[in-house]
Amino acid sequence: MLNAVIFDFDGIIVDTEPLHYKAFQELLVPLGLGYSWEEYMELYIGFDDRDAFREAFRVHGRALSEDELKELIRGKAAAFLDIVSGGVAAYPGVVELIRSISGTLPLALCSGALKSDIEPILKQLGLTDAFDVKVTADEVATSKPDPESYRLAVQRLQERFPGKVDAAASIAVEDTPAGITSATGAGLKVLAVTNSYPREKLSGASRVVNSLVGVDIEGLSLLV
């Protein structure tokens, strides 16, 4: 029996990756550390902001202090908020699926994005109160593929719904290999969507679909 569903954010609920890329470039290009969209998709998409900046500096052999990192993260968050203020669109089928689960099964959000990045978008989509639990990059020390964030999401769901949530009977909805590794490392089954990677890159998932259109609780239940 399906116990709970945990959604990734970027690449599952909204296509924010081009927006994150643009915000990163606003900070990195003036420092001589810019990179192409192809490099972003290949090397950076699985990182949270902290590790993405660290990697950009590491690739160029540049040192990065913790104070400099904090300043870059603040600058990127401000740039991102300015970009998303123009509006964002959800992936087809995802808002309907989230609303059908909300209030029916324990529901969580588990994202490598900052809370300040996520909340304005959830508000635009009318999903602010849809999730019982939200885990964001602000709350964990390591980004995906480490399972820390999904373990925390499961733990919080278990605290919110005592005796009702077993990781092995719960599903993560993901779009990246790093996300799949993180979720399976926390003991979850995974439904992967080919929004960001081709099907062959998502082979670690329990099931791979091209879209969430038509996916429902009954279909998710077949995975556990």
Token pair belonging to 187: 């003991």
Domain coverage including residue 147: 4-15+88-221
Same structural domain for residues 46 and 73?
Answer: yes
Query: Could you read off the pLDDT of 92-141 as tens digits, one per residue?
Result: 999 999 999 999 999 999 999 889 889 999 999 999 999 999 999 999 99
Same structural domain for residues 103 and 193?
Answer: yes
Q: What is the CATH number of the domain that holds 46?
A: 1.10.150.240
Residue where a domain stops, chosen among 84, 99, 124: 84
Nearest to 166 by CA among 143, 186, 192: 186
The torsion angles phi and psi of 176, rounded to 5 degrees, stand at: -130, 155
Same structural domain for residues 191 and 119?
Answer: yes
Same structural domain for residues 149 and 159?
Answer: yes
CA quadruple 166, 176, 121, 23: dihedral positive or negative?
A: positive
Nearest to 215 by CA among 5, 9, 1: 5
Residue 63 banded pLDDT, cuts 50, 70, 90? very high
Same structural domain for residues 121 and 183?
Answer: yes
Same structural domain for residues 115 and 31?
Answer: no
Residue where a domain stops, chosen among 45, 64, 84: 84
Same structural domain for residues 10 and 96?
Answer: yes
**pTM of the entire structure?**
0.85
Same structural domain for residues 93 and 104?
Answer: yes
Number of domains in the chain: 2
Same structural domain for residues 110 and 198?
Answer: yes
Q: Are the C-beta atoms of 6 and 149 separated by less than 8 Å?
A: no
CA quadruple 15, 55, 145, 108: dihedral positive or negative?
A: negative
What pLDDT is recorded for position 72? 98
